Amino acid sequence: MAVRIESSGEGMTAFLTGEIDHHTARQIRETVDAAVEKSKPKNLYLDFSEVGFMDSSGIGLIMGRFKLIQHYGGRLTVTGTSERIAKIISLAGLERLDIFNNAQ
């Protein structure tokens, strides 16, 4: 799993690739959190376009970043999810957080 961070204006995007599981979630979390704590963006985007697999560790990853960005007064948006990953997120009840954008 790799994560690439890009900032523009008041937004920051974390481009996730590969698989998100208990082996990779910690690295992603640490990388994203460090970038958010440094820049304190108004909008954090988690781009799942290149994620092929996600287990419950991904749900924890999303929830933790949701709480972190809220702490700084920002908003989390999840983008680029595959149908499979969108279903996992939905089954976890995260759609009620209004974090989806182009999640199909």
Could you tell me the CATH number of the domain that includes residue 9? 3.30.750.24
Q: Is the full-model pTM beyond 0.85?
A: yes
Cα distance between residue 72 and residue 36, in whole Å = 9
Q: Which tens digits make up the pLDDT trace of 64-102?
A: 999 999 999 999 999 999 999 999 999 999 988 888 774
The count of structural domains within the chain is 1
Range of the domain at 47: 2-101
Residue 64 CA neighbour count, 13 Å, CB half: 16
The residues near 98 (Cβ < 8 Å, ≥ 6 apart) are none
Closest residue by Cα to residue 46 from 21, 22, 23, 29: 29
Closest residue by Cα to residue 61 from 38, 41, 81: 81
Decide if pLDDT at 2 tops 90. Answer: no
